[in-house]
């Protein structure tokens, strides 16, 4: 029986997990939860199941494979990396992978904090802080990647898929931020050219949006024009 991934019907935190599974050529099922529109943003589809799945930390995304039940995005990714040989192989690689994982996840959460603003005014204020932050973090990321093909060299690992999604969200949000970073754009191209990833991105069920839920000020199907 195929493992089940549970998440909202959007990209956000679940995409790196899906990309890791696609790269590993693992079949899986998605339990996509509906999120209502304004003003209530009804979450009952998830809440009705949340405490009935036997999860130690009931949360989305989750990963169910028989008796194995995992929540928390990074815990799922690390498990899949170990299982499918898509993680670091020695201490130096582990240190490098851990740093990039933490850096990419920090940026990812900063994006969501800015986009999930409670008002248009707050969203505009958030952007005045987000954009300079992203400018700095893209420089850091470019320096870390250097001349490497992937984060750990010539071999793609789970952390590349976490970083890919983060950079792709930035690219879709404000394309000009990527203009000074040719090696990051080439890195995105290399990820997308991986045979299994290319096949997934071209599949009928894949869509660039929504990235965020209906309550976000950017990244959902109603608000996703580039800035």
Looking at residue 83, its pLDDT comes to 98
Q: How far, CA to CA in Å, does 219 sit from each of 13, 158, 168?
A: 13, 24, 12
Whether residue 173 is contained in a domain is answered as yes
Whether residue 219 is contained in a domain is answered as no
226 band by pLDDT with thresholds 50, 70 and 90:
very high
Whether residue 1 is contained in a domain is answered as no
Domain that residue 95 falls in: 91-195
Looking at residue 223, its pLDDT comes to 83
Looking at residue 221, its pLDDT comes to 86
Instruction: Say whether pLDDT at 39 is over 90.
Output: no
For residues 86 and 20, the answer to whether their CB atoms sit within 8 Å is yes
Distance CA 123, CA 37 (A): 19
Whether residue 206 is contained in a domain is answered as no
Residue 195 CB-half CA count within 13 A: 2
What pLDDT digit, counting tens, does each position of 58-112 carry? 999 999 999 999 999 999 999 999 999 999 999 999 999 999 999 999 999 999 9
Whether residue 21 is contained in a domain is answered as no
Instruction: Say whether pLDDT at 204 is over 90.
Output: yes
Q: Which residue has the tokens 């991934």?
A: 5
What pLDDT digit, counting tens, does each position of 100-153 carry? 999 999 999 999 999 999 999 999 999 999 999 999 999 999 999 999 999 999
Domain count, the chain: 1
Q: Find the CATH number of the domain harbouring 138.
A: 1.20.1050.10
Rounded mean pLDDT of the chain? Answer: 97
Determine what percent of the chain is predicted with pLDDT higher than 70.
100
Looking at residue 161, its pLDDT comes to 98
Q: State the average pLDDT over residues 213-217.
A: 95
Q: State the average pLDDT over residues 155-166.
A: 98
Phi, psi angles (nearest 5°) of residue 39:
-90, -10
Whether residue 49 is contained in a domain is answered as no
Residue 113 CB-half CA count within 13 A: 13
Whether residue 41 is contained in a domain is answered as no
Q: State the average pLDDT over residues 156-164.
A: 98
User: What is the DSSP secondary structure assignment for residue 224, as one 8-state letter?
Assistant: -
């Amino acid at each position: 029986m195929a493992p089940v991934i549970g998440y909202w019907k959007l990209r956000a935190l679940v995409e790196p997990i899906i990309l890791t599974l696609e790269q590993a050529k693992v079949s899986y099922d998605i339990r996509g939860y509906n999120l209502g529109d304004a003003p209530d943003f009804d979450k009952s589809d998830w809440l009705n199941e949340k405490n009935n799945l036997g999860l130690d930390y009931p949360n989305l995304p989750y990963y169910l494979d028989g008796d194995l039940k995992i929540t928390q995005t990074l815990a799922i990714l690390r498990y899949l990396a170990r299982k499918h040989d898509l993680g670091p192989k020695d201490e130096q690689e582990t240190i490098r992978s851990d740093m990039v994982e933490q850096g990419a996840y920090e940026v990812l959460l900063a994006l969501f904090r800015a986009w999930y603003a409670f008002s248009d005014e707050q969203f505009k204020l958030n952007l005045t802080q987000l954009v300079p932050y992203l400018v700095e973090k893209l420089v850091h990321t470019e320096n870390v990647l250097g001349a490497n093909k992937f984060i750990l060299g010539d071999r793609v690992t789970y952390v590349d898929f976490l970083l890919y999604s983060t950079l792709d969200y930035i690219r879709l949000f404000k394309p000009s931020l990527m203009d000074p970073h040719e090696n990051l754009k080439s890195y995105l191209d290399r990820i997308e050219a991986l045979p299994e990833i290319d096949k997934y991105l071209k599949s009928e069920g894949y869509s660039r949006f929504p990235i965020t839920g209906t309550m976000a000020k950017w990244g959902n199907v109603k608000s996703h024009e580039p800035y």
